Amino acid sequence: MTFRDGELELRKMVNKLRENEIITVTKASLPEFREYEELISKLWENRWLTNMGMYHEELKEKLKSYLEVGGVELFVNGHMALEMLIQAFELEGEVITTPFTFASTTHAIVRNGLKPVFCDIDPDDCTIDASKIESLITKDTCAILPVHVYGNICDFKTIEGIAKEHGLKLIFDAAHAFGESVGGIPVGELGDASMFSFHATKVFNTIEGGAVTWKGENRELSEKLYKLKNFGITGKESVEYVGGNAKMNEFCAAMGLCNLRHVNDWISERKAVYDRYVRNLGHVRGIRLLGRREDTVYNYAYMPVVFDGNIFKRNEIYEKLMGENIYSRKYFYPCVNAYDCYRGSYDPKETPIALELSENILTLPIYPELSAEDVDRICEIIVG
């Protein structure tokens, strides 16, 4: 295919998308245009576009209360939030983490000069297998970085116990877990701190954006993160840290303020889509849905489905759906420890469950306005 062919192909796809003939795995949630316009029009008056402006401060307060956490610091995106959170703890050595995640989790560790050590996952819900963490602890281990993958909350009690016993920092990648809670505990209060992503494809978006949250008052962490995201500047004439630029701008914060008004409705609509999938696929032989905890309030961010590789083959289903203009995702394939950039350092066979799941899992389209008819059609194509 030449570049020109590729361009034509892409244009065709965009046209189909516009005509709603294509169903994508997700669709960015947006407020009414006039809602957003009303907020951003003020930016033409005050000309304060970034650097902790009024919308930044308002969003921070609103999120603190929505997420029911002790503190929030906003960032340009989830990845930089995680990178700077790790930097704030001034760690050295090895970080135990999961290979069944998005590139960001591991890259954030490596870009801080730390070494990821991969722990296998629990096949039931795809989160880190807490029973396998202790055997990976060495004298160099400094932290544990699990992911609430697909919004499934990790076995936090066991992991917190291990972290405490061995004096390790516990940082959660909560990019998928916006607004969730477990046994009445808000997810953003677990561990030493958590990172959320507000990327366009996530349940709650600020176009691009992210946050770090923690439990209780933590002025030290709060101030350090604030400075790190602004070049490490600590005063008019002093720069104490080698920080970067990871501030959330006012246009993104305004989008967040608008979207926060709707996010509860969107989550209920997502639940209806999720329930429809469960109704259609929950009892099909050869298909497994991931385990769900009774005590968790979910956000229905993703619709992962595991195929047995026998009656149903993941790659065949993926192609079959694509043939009908339905775009599912092999999320997460490949596992991080199989990435080209980590070749030679890791062997994905060391985490066999993650490897197997990465080859058999598919995330199906889920977003608030996906109709029951479309869900039924998607399921018929899969099963039929």
Site for ligand PLP, rule CB under 6 A: 77-79, 101-102, 104-105, 147, 173, 175-176, 197, 199, 210
Separation between Cα atoms, residue 156 and residue 181, nearest integer Å: 12
Tell me the torsion sign for CA atoms 122, 126, 129, 130. negative
Shortest distance, position 156 Cβ to ligand PLP, whole Å? 16
Looking up tokens 């993958």 gives 149
CB 143 within 8 A of CB 192: no
280 vs 328 by CB, closer to ligand PLP: 328
Shortest distance, position 81 Cβ to ligand PLP, whole Å? 8
Which residue is nearest to ligand PLP, using beta carbons?
78
102 vs 312 by CB, closer to ligand PLP: 102
CA distances (Å), 376 to each of 23, 324, 380, in order? 13, 14, 6
No. of helices (H) and no. of strands (E), the chain: 11, 15
Separation between Cα atoms, residue 256 and residue 56, nearest integer Å: 9
CB 93 within 8 A of CB 114: yes
Tokens at 219, concatenated: 């002025």
98 vs 280 by CB, closer to ligand PLP: 98
77 vs 213 by CB, closer to ligand PLP: 77
197 vs 351 by CB, closer to ligand PLP: 197
114 vs 382 by CB, closer to ligand PLP: 114
Exposed, middle or buried: residue 343 (CB in 10 Å: 0-12, 13-18, 19+)? Answer: exposed
Strands (E), the chain: 71-75, 94-97, 115-118, 141-145, 169-173, 181-182, 185-186, 193-197, 210-214, 233-235, 238-239, 287-289, 296-297, 304-307, 361-363
Q: Look at the chain and count its residues.
A: 384
171 vs 378 by CB, closer to ligand PLP: 171
Task: Give, rounded to a whole angstrom, the gap between the first and last alpha carbons of the chain.
Answer: 32
Separation between Cα atoms, residue 169 and residue 94, nearest integer Å: 11
The amino acid occupying position 75 is: F
169 vs 176 by CB, closer to ligand PLP: 176
Shortest distance, position 76 Cβ to ligand PLP, whole Å? 8
Separation between Cα atoms, residue 138 and residue 249, nearest integer Å: 41
255 vs 287 by CB, closer to ligand PLP: 255
